[in-house]
Amino acid sequence: MDIVLIGAGGRMGHSLRQVIDEQGDQLVGAVAATPDKLNIVAPCADRLTPTMLQAEVLIDFSTPQGTEQTIETLEQAPNALAYVVGTTGLSEQTQERLKNLARRHAVLYTANTSIGITVMKALATQAAKMLPGYDIDIGEMHHSRKVDAPSGTALTLGDAVAQARGAQNTGSTDRAGTRKENTIGYAVMRGGTVAGEHTVVFSGPYERLEIIHRAQDRTIFARGALRAAAWLLQNPPGFYEMNDVLGVARTP
């Protein structure tokens, strides 16, 4: 694949560059806030250029502002591209713009490109349906420099189990006093160099079920993103998620 990487200077950008090279794909362009510091052969800039728009696929792990800038460019692009978006913290308005963009481009948007997290989400959704009345909590831990909290993945897991249960997804880490019924609780930790850990806990009378995913290396997200990119190239314009890549039913 001919790939343009947006957010090439970040942690995920570094992992993607590594895996792209390992898998024999071609990095034909890179977008970063400080492109002069990337030290790569591919053309670099602080925004998409007309030449970069000739690539097959864009992979975006930048910032909400960076993704909004990319959407604006693609809305005016003369040709359709595959576009994988792994940027977290996107507003509802930006997500709606992605859906509109998907009328002409093949777009996959996800808070987490890990194959394991995709399976975890499906399992947690089924458990929420099968364990009525159980309290549901979501715990997550990431490295100390992560900005958003709870993580986009934690909120996505919360949305899935809340919709399956018909519960209220508060998305809050604050909870004083006794627990409110039919809500999703969150616990957030930040420290060290943790790539990502997520736990969905179902607590019932005298028993507890936990579904846990631990990312041991950031390259799992890069490999998932490249798998998603290859899948997009084989499919028509539309708005997709990782469940579609794995061929399993979408969670709510």
Our answer to whether residue 143 is catalytic in this structure is no
- Tell me which residue of 133, 74, 129, 130 sits closest to 107, measured CA to CA: 74
- Tell me which residue of 33, 73, 22, 38 sits closest to 52, measured CA to CA: 73
Two structure tokens written together for 39: 């030290």
C-alpha distances (whole Å) from 128 to each of 48, 136, 173, 209, 249 are 42, 8, 20, 11, 16
Separation between Cα atoms, residue 130 and residue 108, nearest integer Å: 29
pLDDT (tens digit, 9 = 90+) per residue, 178-221? 777 788 899 999 999 998 999 999 999 999 999 999 999 889 99
Beta pairing partners, 142: 190
> Residue 53: which pLDDT band, with cuts at 50, 70 and 90?
very high
User: What confidence score (pLDDT) does residue 149 get?
Assistant: 85
Our answer to whether residue 146 is catalytic in this structure is yes
Q: What percentage of the chain exceeds 90 in pLDDT?
A: 78
Separation between Cα atoms, residue 157 and residue 111, nearest integer Å: 10
> Residue 176: which pLDDT band, with cuts at 50, 70 and 90?
low
Q: Phi and psi of 213, rounded to 5°?
A: -130, 130
Q: Which of 121, 142, 198, 213 is catalytic?
A: 142
Beta pairing partners, 140: 188, 198
For residue 150, cis peptide bond before it (omega within 30 degrees of 0): yes
∠ CA 85-9-31, rounded to 5°: 60
The answer to whether 137 touches 184, Cβ cutoff 8 Å, is yes
Q: Which of 14, 99, 143, 146 is catalytic?
A: 146
- Tell me which residue of 31, 184, 61, 197 sits closest to 120, measured CA to CA: 197
Find where tokens 């947690």 sit: 124
pLDDT (tens digit, 9 = 90+) per residue, 12-43? 999 999 999 999 999 999 999 999 989 899 99
pLDDT (tens digit, 9 = 90+) per residue, 105-137? 999 999 889 999 999 999 999 999 999 999 999
The answer to whether 196 touches 151, Cβ cutoff 8 Å, is yes
